[in-house]
């Protein structure tokens, strides 16, 4: 987003004009930024056999998935529905990693039938898989490395008390199951969480993963998950991809040399690829001063962007309607009948009723975690690509709220 010719613009398109054209609230995605992030990751790991598996859950619009495919990524899917979405847009089954958690074995069987890579993260399911398939279907095993990554425990998933992955302390048990059923293990996976700043955390995970991998003789890839940090606040730091790429690639190459085979290195970025591409455009409904705080109530809320309330996530806010003038401190809140603070104590150009605000870093886990809470409608989505704007999801209507409800006569 750049301030040029008296307007905030992306790819030359004025955001205020997009809001007039499509209405608010409105999700806007910069497709060029997504492609740029993919290229950044490719360049950082140019010395190894890299496979990028975009974390579909971050933003699952089919047009975003099509753009990822065009940019050369594969996908990571965490549900059978995400698998079907990825197949729908043209990904080959071999390009899809299916990493479920606490699903029924029936869903895993469905994924096997679709031909995607199965990533198993608990021992009972591993045994069930062995009983059913033996070594006829190649699999990946997700390990929990017991590493607390990032500064927010709510988005760290590799610690000892996490529900994700098989504890590294249970590796002996894993080997017994693999040997008992002749399982064909072709990959190992770890994912420690989000907002990882430097190479050291990845290297800690790598050390554990390499030690485990040395005991599996037929691997094709090692999957390091995702978790690269992006900037949220002014002056915020993000993952140094050049440093991470160099150090992790070097460690990976050393391992491959000792393993006696050049493996593929996989990553599953979600937030890194789409967070910064997204804005949520909202309109100021009311300016409400109180003895303690001046609230700006907008035409959105936790039903459209739950991250601030769920994860204490910071999202920058800009008043697109006021380019000059005094600044004041506001707390931006939603129109939901809950406490749904979007941004607290933010300094903005003086906000007036009807002003258009842009909420930044809304590309990841924004629309994909949205809901119809309070029977509110979900917003439209627009993608910008090549200086053109494309409507990629229509705004919901009241008929959509009723669509699957059965009006019973009683």
Q: Which of 86, 102, 140, 337 is catalytic?
A: 337
Write the CB contacts of 243 (distance below 8 Å, at least 6 apart in sequence): 198, 199
Which residue has tokens 């690639």? 249
Cis peptide before 73 (omega within 30 of 0): no
Question: How far apart are the C-alpha atoms of 186 and 233, rounded to whole Å?
Answer: 40
Q: Which is nearest to 264 in space by CA: 205, 223, 221, 219?
A: 221
Are 27 and 362 in contact, with CB atoms under 8 Å apart?
A: yes
DSSP structure string for 134-190: TTSS-EEEEEE-----SS-GGGB-SSTT-SSSEEGGGHHHHHHHHHHHT--EEEEE-
Write down how long the chain is: 410
d(CA 20, CA 180): 63
Give the Cα separation of 410 and 57 in Å (integer).
40
- Residue 337 designated active-site: yes
> To which residue do tokens 């008992």 refer?
180
- DSSP code string of 217-267: SS--EEE----B----STT-----HHHHHHHHHHHHHHHHHHHTS--EEEE
User: What is the C-alpha separation between 29 and 161, in angstroms, rounded?
Assistant: 35
Structure tokens at 218: 């037929």
DSSP 156: B
Helix (H, G, I), strand (E, B) or coil at 368: helix
Run of H or E including 70: helix 62-71
Question: What are the structure tokens assigned to 14, written together?
Answer: 């004025």
Q: Which residues contact 134 (CB under 8 A, 6 or more apart)?
A: 181, 182, 183
The token pair at 223 is 């999957």
Residue with tokens 């994912």: 191
CB atoms within 10 A of CB 386: 8
Interatomic CA distance for residues 282 and 68, integer angstroms: 27
Residues taking part in catalysis: 337
């Amino acid at each position: 987003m750049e301030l040029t010719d008296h307007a905030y613009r992306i790819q030359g398109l004025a955001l205020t004009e997009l809001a007039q054209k499509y209405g608010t609230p409105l999700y806007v995605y910069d497709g060029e930024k997504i492609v740029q992030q993919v290229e950044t990751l490719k360049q950082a790991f140019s010395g190894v056999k890299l496979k990028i598996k975009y974390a579909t859950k971050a933003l699952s619009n089919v047009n975003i998935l099509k753009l990822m495919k065009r940019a050369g990524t594969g996908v990571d899917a965490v549900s059978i529905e995400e698998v079907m979405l990825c197949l729908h847009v043209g990904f080959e089954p071999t390009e899809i990693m299916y990493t479920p958690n606490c699903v029924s074995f029936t869903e895993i069987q469905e994924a096997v039938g679709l031909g995607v890579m199965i990533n198993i993260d608990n021992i009972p399911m591993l045994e069930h898989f062995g009983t059913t398939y033996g070594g006829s279907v190649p699999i990946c095993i997700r390990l929990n490395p017991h590493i607390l990554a990032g500064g927010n425990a709510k988005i760290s998933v590799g610690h000892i008390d996490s529900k994700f992955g098989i504890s590294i302390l249970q590796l002996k048990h894993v080997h017994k199951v693999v040997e008992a059923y002749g399982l064909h293990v072709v990959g190992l996976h770890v994912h420690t969480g989000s907002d990882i700043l430097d190479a050291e955390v990845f290297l800690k995970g790598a050390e554990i993963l390499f030690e485990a991998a040395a005991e599996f003789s037929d691997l094709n890839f090692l999957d390091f998950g995702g978790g690269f940090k992006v900037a949220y606040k002014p002056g915020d730091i993000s993952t140094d991809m050049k440093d991470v790429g160099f150090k992790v690639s070097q460690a990976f190459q050393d391992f491959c040399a000792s393993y006696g085979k050049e493996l593929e290195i996989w990553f599953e970025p979600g937030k890194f690829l789409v967070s910064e591409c997204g804005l949520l455009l909202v309109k100021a409904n009311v300016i409400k001063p109180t003895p303690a705080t001046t609230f700006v109530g907008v035409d959105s809320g936790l039903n459209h962007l739950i991250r601030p309330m769920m994860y204490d996530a910071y999202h920058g806010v800009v008043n697109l309607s006021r380019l000059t003038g005094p600044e004041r401190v506001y707390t931006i809140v939603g129109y939901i009948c809950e406490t749904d603070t979007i941004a607290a104590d933010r300094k903005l150009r003086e906000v007036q009723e009807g002003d258009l605000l842009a909420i930044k870093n809304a590309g990841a886990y924004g629309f994909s975690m949205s809901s119809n809470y309070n029977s509110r409608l979900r917003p439209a989505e627009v993608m910008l690509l090549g200086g053109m704007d494309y409507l990629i999801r229509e705004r919901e209507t009241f008929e959509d709220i009723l669509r699957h409800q059965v009006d019973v006569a009683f």
